Each structure stands twice: as structure tokens, then as C-alpha cells.
């Protein structure tokens, strides 16, 4: 990313209904940063496996434990991930870490449904314990999800909300003593910036909350 060549803005207020969908996408994905990447693995009803990254992705609630990914249309139809989740009502979220950044990227190609992205990226495929979905066998943290709800977001996206029914944690991940927090330094998560740019874990700053009353 060469920010030395950056231009200045012609206006300080951009009305979002006066710009193109592409411009809205570019503003949103460069301002809401860094975004976590949900690397979603699923089976089609015939058992063929699929894996693809989604950075319109967020943690939504803890009880029930919910995560959501917003999946865009491709050529007017659902992407393989969405079609699979509609068929099986299940998926896994593989947390993308520094060691798997290149493999994650390899799974983002516009492959036909019969292509198994685990094979494309040379990743081991394992079967989830609690839902009908595969997961990345060497991924240190995996959320096994059952479809909780699908919400249509306008003409171009569907939000799939998954209830996390099981969490897989590799023993290489450290736990903060006395809690269920996973030590971020041991996870080394990757964030998505815009386009082909990613952020890696930098210095971590701790800040106590203000005490009121």
C-alpha cells in the first residue's frame, strides 16, 4: 500500500446514495478496519467440501453465542458457501492466523462448486464433532456453528448468523490464567484492511475502563 501517493478529498461530506455501489464498498472496507476474517467451511448436501474467507464478519452475541457473515451474490446467485449453509444449516468458522494467511488467500478464488478449496490450498480437512461441516485440521481455533438465522440485507447480501455450539482450541494456544480468554499473542490473528491488504498483530495496549460511581 503506497500511502505517499494518496490524494486528498474534494468534499468532507459524502452522501452515500449519490455515489456508486463500488465507491460505497471502497469507503466501507477502508474505514471499518481491521476486520476479522471468518474462514467459513461447509459441506454441500452431497458431502463435497467448501472453504472461503469472509471479512464482512463479526461476533454478535454470547448467549446464545452468535457470529455472522455477510455473503454477497455472485452472477446474481448465491456463492457456494451460502448455498451449502442453506442446504446443511451448518458451517465452521476457522480463525485466520498469520501462519495461514497465504492458504486463506488461495481459498478465495472463484472456483466452481465441485472444486474442494482444502485441496487447492493443501490444507488438511477434518470433520466437525457437533455439526455437519468440515474444518481446517491445522487451524488453532475453530467455531462449530449451526445456522441460527439468515437475514437478507438488500439486493446484494445475505447475513448468515451461526450459533456456536462448540469451540475447538489447539493446545498450542495459551489461556490467560484464571479465565477463558485466549492469549492474543499465542493466536496471532490476521485482520483485513481494504483490497489485498492485511494487518498483523502489532503492540497490544491495555487500558482499564473508567470507574463510574
Ligand X SMILES: Cc1cc2nc3c(=O)[nH]c(=O)nc-3n(C[C@H](O)[C@H](O)[C@H](O)COP(=O)(O)O)c2cc1C
Contact residues for ligand X, defined by CB under 6 A? 37, 50, 52-56, 70-72, 79-81, 105, 108-110, 192
Query: Rounded to the nearest 5°, which phi and psi values hold at 31?
Result: -100, -35
DSSP assignments along 150-213, one per residue = EEEETTTEEEEEEEEEEEEE-TTS-B-TTSSPBPHHHH-B-EE-STT-EE--------PPPP--
Question: Between 80 and 144, whose beta carbon lies closer to ligand X?
Answer: 80
In whole angstroms, the minimum distance from the beta carbon of 210 to ligand X comes to 34
Residue among 117 and 163 whose Cβ is closer to ligand X: 117
Q: Which is nearer to ligand X, 19 or 32 (CB)?
A: 32
Order of strands, edge to edge, in the sheet holding 191-192? 35-36, 191-192, 198-199
Half-sphere exposure in the Cβ direction for 114 (13 Å, CA): 0
Min CB(22)–ligand X separation in Å: 14
- Give least dist CB 58 to ligand X, A: 10
Residue among 54 and 118 whose Cβ is closer to ligand X: 54
Neighbours of 85 (CB within 10 A): 26
**Closest CB to ligand X among 53 and 162?**
53
CB of 18 to ligand X, least distance (A): 24
The closest of 137, 112, 108, 121 to 38, measured between CA atoms, is 108
User: What is the nearest approach in angstroms of ligand X to the Cβ of residue 174?
Assistant: 26
Amino acid at each position: 500500500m503506497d500511502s505517499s501517493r494518496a490524494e486528498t478529498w474534494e468534499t468532507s461530506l459524502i452522501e452515500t446514495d449519490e455515489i456508486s455501489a463500488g465507491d460505497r464498498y471502497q469507503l466501507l472496507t477502508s474505514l471499518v478496519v481491521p476486520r476479522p476474517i471468518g474462514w467459513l467451511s461447509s459441506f454441500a448436501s452431497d458431502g463435497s467440501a467448501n472453504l472461503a474467507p469472509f471479512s464482512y464478519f463479526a461476533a454478535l452475541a454470547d448467549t446464545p453465542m452468535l457470529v455472522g457473515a455477510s455473503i454477497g451474490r455472485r452472477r446474481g446467485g448465491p456463492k457456494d458457501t451460502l448455498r451449502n449453509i442453506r442446504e446443511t444449516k451448518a458451517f465452521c468458522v476457522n480463525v485466520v492466523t498469520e501462519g495461514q494467511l497465504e492458504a486463506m488467500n488461495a481459498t478465495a478464488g472463484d472456483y466452481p462448486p465441485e472444486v474442494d478449496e482444502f485441496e487447492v490450498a493443501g490444507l488438511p480437512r477434518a470433520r466437525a464433532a457437533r455439526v455437519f461441516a468440515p474444518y481446517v485440521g491445522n487451524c488453532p481455533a475453530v467455531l462449530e456453528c449451526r445456522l441460527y438465522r439468515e437475514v437478507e440485507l438488500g439486493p446484494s447480501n445475505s447475513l448468515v448468523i451461526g450459533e456456536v455450539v462448540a469451540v475447538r482450541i489447539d493446545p498450542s494456544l495459551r489461556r490467560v490464567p484464571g479465565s477463558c480468554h485466549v492469549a492474543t499473542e499465542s493466536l496471532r490473528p490476521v485482520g483485513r484492511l481494504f483490497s489485498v491488504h492485511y494487518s498483523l498483530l502489532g503492540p497490544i495496549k491495555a487500558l482499564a475502563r473508567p470507574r463510574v460511581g
